[in-house]
Amino acid sequence: MDAPVKTSRTDIEWRISDHPVAYPDAVAEMEARAAAIAEGKAGEQIWLLEHPPIYTAGTSARDQDLIEARFPVYRTGRGGQFTYHGPGQRVAYAMLDLKRRNPDVRAYVHDLEEWLIQALAEFNVKGERREGRVGIWVRRSDREDKIAALGVRIKRWVSFHGVALNVDPDLSHFAGIVPCGVTAHGVTSLADLGIVASLADVDVALKRSFGKIFG
């Protein structure tokens, strides 16, 4: 059962789904909510959820980056390339009224990145941006790995889709794709970094850091 939570500071609804949500259902609900926000019929929402194991292809996805279709593949209208979603990964879909906040797509993407960086900092993980690479990265002893992805779509200045943070997913599932088109680097998670954290722990960090970035 989903648990809507109102925040008095921002008047944003935080919705948490306790069970994996089918991707087509999530997209349909996001599109409906975004349309309602644009029409002034609904408030902003952050939706925290997991998906069953799937691959999604953004508008820049290249067919050759789908190495093995181990799981269902969905073509989607968000920006970006191929990514994986599955249990143990916290997906945060952000339906925000950018016309009211700040109608600047680059600034919005920068804020999403900062949201992830601030949330990771609560677990003493230093997340970093990389020029020419989408997502948030962490330095390892001999390499850099991606710990979070983002992909957005904006319609009538309302955002949807959002970010995905690897908490404790099966990292072998990423092997079926070239994540975000990057072959020279790997993927990691909080668990892979030796950090024990539940999805609920991550939700608390995301809520707290969201307030710092988006108000």
Active site residues: 180
Please tell me the distance from the alpha carbon of residue 34 to that of residue 18, in angstroms, as a whole number.
22
How many of the other CB atoms lie within 10 Å of CB of 212? 11
Tell me the C-alpha distance between 137 and 118, whole Å: 13
* Residue 58 · residue 82 · CB < 8 Å: yes
CA–CA gap between residue 144 and residue 128 (Å, rounded): 10
Q: Between the CA of residue 26 and those of 49, 125, 149, 212, what are the distances in Å?
A: 9, 29, 17, 27
Distance CA(127)–CA(137), nearest Å, equals: 5
Under a CB-based contact definition with an 8 Å cutoff, are residues 168 and 88 in contact?
Answer: yes
Q: Residue 123 is which amino acid?
A: F
CB atoms within 10 A of CB 145: 17
The DSSP letter of residue 88 is T
Of the candidates 58, 80, 188, 194, the one whose C-alpha atom is nearest the C-alpha of residue 136 is: 188
